[in-house]
């Protein structure tokens, strides 16, 4: 029986106790940590302390006495080992969208004479929108966008490509790129590689330094569990620091913000990638959330993520009612992220029926139901319950109910 098998796997799972570090509601199977990570129990206390002892007590002096001013840097250093970065290359700030603008412009400046940004067809929209926004802003003579399918990116590189922008794990299919190979291909063509780690950081080991990656961005509110709207992070390889300026020359990226000088002079290192005042509440939340990763073996985390998605895929395959679903997730472990994507023409309604059953998944147009597995807190019992619920919805055609046809703004 699948539930017995799941219980056995959970008993044998060395990471199972980590679930206790999260405040997950009873009776819910939460499989949307790839969209909004669950709440770590350490966060509320830290936020309360920040309100009471810092903002409430020491007011503006907190920028110095509680180190608020250094938080983007300090939280960046906590993220660095999760993405395989040596110190002084990661900064926690802004959103991925804003950081992409800064880093794409950086890449173009680092490759004068080249004008093309190569993007992947079907990548997350903001990556594409920001690229096109920057190209429109700079004008055709300075920046052009070229698109290629994920498996043809290396072939689309030529001597006009300044930077290849790729997301390690595709948000729709869950397909994972070989970061080392694609980065090498970009370098052989004389281009830089900018990686988006939105669906990898916190779910699996990432080796930015070892792969020779040039630039990267990543998300604070997905697998890092920093809370809704948590700041993102960016990575600039040491060899590319202090060479060029980034265009969002805000006062906190100045060498000496409190000199209030009339002329902008960039700070050294990644600090020049700060623009304006960060949200200290959001940084404190992410900082507390990251403590869950202390002492975690990322290889073990990856092994569990793969075991969970394997288990779920096998459970779905064993359900005759699930035959109508198309599995988009690669079978090969090397090509798989930490989610399972199943396509069905009635995907939106199926996702709503699952959510009504307490299996929290999400839907991505046009027809994809996503099951995100967060190896820090998801269990094999979660995977079993989701597969059973999915089979039950389909077998009873419960998703055909009228109420599941109405689309909410956030899917």
Ligand X SMILES: *Cc1c(COP(=O)(O)O)cnc(C)c1O
* Contact residues for ligand X, defined by CB under 6 A: 95-97, 124, 126-127, 167, 171, 196, 198-199, 219, 232
Q: How far is the CB of 199 from ligand X (least distance, A)?
A: 6
119: how many CB neighbours lie within 10 A of its CB? 25
Task: Please say which residue, 219 or 322, places its beta carbon nearer to ligand X.
Answer: 219
Question: Cβ closer to ligand X: 283 or 394?
Answer: 283
Assess whether 22 carries a catalytic annotation: no
Tell me the closest approach of the beta carbon of residue 399 to ligand X, in angstroms.
26
Rounded Cα distance between 92 and 231, Å, is: 6
Residue 286 vs 390, nearer CB to ligand X: 286
The answer on whether 367 is annotated among ligand-binding residues is: no
Q: Which of 9, 111, 172, 222 is catalytic?
A: 222
CB of 395 to ligand X, least distance (A): 32
Active site residue 348: no
Candidate list 22, 30, 101, 221, residue with the active-site label: 221
What angle, rounded to 10 degrees, do the helices at 42-49 and 280-290 form? 140
Q: Return the number of the residue (84 or 372) whose C-beta is nearest ligand X.
A: 372
Q: How far is CA 133 from the centre of its chain?
A: 21
124 is in an annotated binding site: yes
334 burial (CB, 10 Å; 0-12 / 13-18 / 19+) is exposed
Torsion of CA 259, 263, 269, 270, to 10 degrees: 90
| Nearer of residues 54 and 127 to ligand X, judged by Cβ | 127
Would you say 141 is a known binding-site residue? Answer: no
Could you confirm whether 137 is annotated as catalytic? no
Nearest to 309 by CA among 174, 150, 170, 172: 174
* Residue 97 labelled as part of a binding site: yes
Residue 252, Cα to own-chain centre: how many angstroms? 25
55 is in an annotated binding site: no
Q: Which of 22, 30, 101, 124 is catalytic?
A: 124
**CB of 114 or CB of 128, closer to ligand X:** 128
Cα separation, 265 vs 312, whole angstroms: 53
Taking the least distance from each CB to ligand X, the nearer of 199 and 304 is 199
Question: Which residues are registered as beta bridge partners of 233?
Answer: 92, 218
CB of 53 to ligand X, least distance (A): 29
Whole-number Å distance between alpha carbons of 62 and 42: 21
Q: Which two tokens stand for residue 330?
A: 């690669």
Residue pointed to by tokens 């300026």:
245
| 221 given a catalytic annotation | yes
Apex CA 134: angle with CA 131 and CA 135, to 5°? Answer: 85
The Cα 154–Cα 63 span in angstroms is: 46
Minimum CB separation of residue 130 from ligand X in Å reads 8
Structure tokens at 183: 């980065």
Annotated catalytic residue within 94, 123, 196, 382: 196
Say whether 235 is catalytic. no
Q: In what order do the strands lie in the sheet with 215-218?
A: 90-92, 233-236, 215-218, 192-196, 161-167, 116-120, 144-148
Q: Is 209 annotated as a binding residue?
A: no
Question: Does 117 carry a binding-site annotation?
Answer: no
Distance CA 320, CA 391 (A): 8
Minimum Å gap between C-beta 100 and ligand X is 8
H/E run at residue 118: strand 116-120
The answer to whether 116 is a known ligand-binding residue is: no
Q: Considering the complex, what minimum distance in angstroms separates the CB of residue 97 from ligand X? A: 3
Residue 135: which H helix or E strand, with range? helix 125-138
Q: Exposed/middle/buried for 315, CB within 10 Å: 0-12, 13-18, 19+?
A: buried
Confirm or deny that 47 is annotated as ligand binding.
Answer: no
Annotated binding site: 96-97, 124-127, 167, 196, 199, 221, 251, 277
Indicate which residues carry an active-site annotation. Answer: 124, 196, 221-222, 370
Annotated binding site for pyridoxal 5'-phosphate: 96-97, 124-127, 167, 196, 199, 221, 251, 277
């Amino acid at each position: 029986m699948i539930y017995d098998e799941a219980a056995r796997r959970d008993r044998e799972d060395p990471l199972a106790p980590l679930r206790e570090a999260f405040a997950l509601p009873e009776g819910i199977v939460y499989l949307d940590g790839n969209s909004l990570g669950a709440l770590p129990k350490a966060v509320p206390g830290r936020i309360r302390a920040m309100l009471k002892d810092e903002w409430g007590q020491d007011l503006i002096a907190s920028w110095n006495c509680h180190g608020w001013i250094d938080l983007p840097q300090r939280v960046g250093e906590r993220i660095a080992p999760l993405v395989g970065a040596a110190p002084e290359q990661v900064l926690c700030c802004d959103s991925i969208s804003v950081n992409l603008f800064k880093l794409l412009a950086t890449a173009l400046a680092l490759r004068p004479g080249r004008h093309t940004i190569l993007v992947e067809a079907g990548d997350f929209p903001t990556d594409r929108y920001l690229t096109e926004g920057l190209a429109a802003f700079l004008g055709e003579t300075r920046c052009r966008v070229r698109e290629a399918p994920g498996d043809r990116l290396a072939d689309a590189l030529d001597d006009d490509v300044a930077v290849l922008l790729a997301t390690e794990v595709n948000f729709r299919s869950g397909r994972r790129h070989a970061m080392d190979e694609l980065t090498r291909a970009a370098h052989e063509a004389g281009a830089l590689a900018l990686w988006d780690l939105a669906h990898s950081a916190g779910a699996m080991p990432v080796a930015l330094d070892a792969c020779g990656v040039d630039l990267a961005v990543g998300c604070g509110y997905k697998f890092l569990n920093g809370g809704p709207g948590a700041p993102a992070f960016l990575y600039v390889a040491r060899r590319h620091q202090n060479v060029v300026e980034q265009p969002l020359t805000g006062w906190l990226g100045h060498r000496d913000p409190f000199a209030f000088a009339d002329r902008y002079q960039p700070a050294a290192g990644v600090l020049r990638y700060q623009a304006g005042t960060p949200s200290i509440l959001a940084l404190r939340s992410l900082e507390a959330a990251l403590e869950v990763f202390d002492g975690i073996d990322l290889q073990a985390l990856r092994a569990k993520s793969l075991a969970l998605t394997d288990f779920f895929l096998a459970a779905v395959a064993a359900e005759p009612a699930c035959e109508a679903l198309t599995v988009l997730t690669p079978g090969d472990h090397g090509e798989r992220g930490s989610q399972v994507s199943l396509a069905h023409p009635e995907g939106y309604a199926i996702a709503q029926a699952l959510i009504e059953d307490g299996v929290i998944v999400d839907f991505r147009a046009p027809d994809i139901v996503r099951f995100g597995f967060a190896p820090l807190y998801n269990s094999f019992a979660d995977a079993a319950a989701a597969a059973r619920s999915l089979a039950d919805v389909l077998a009873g055609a419960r998703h055909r109910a009228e109420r599941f046809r109405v689309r909410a703004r956030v899917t």
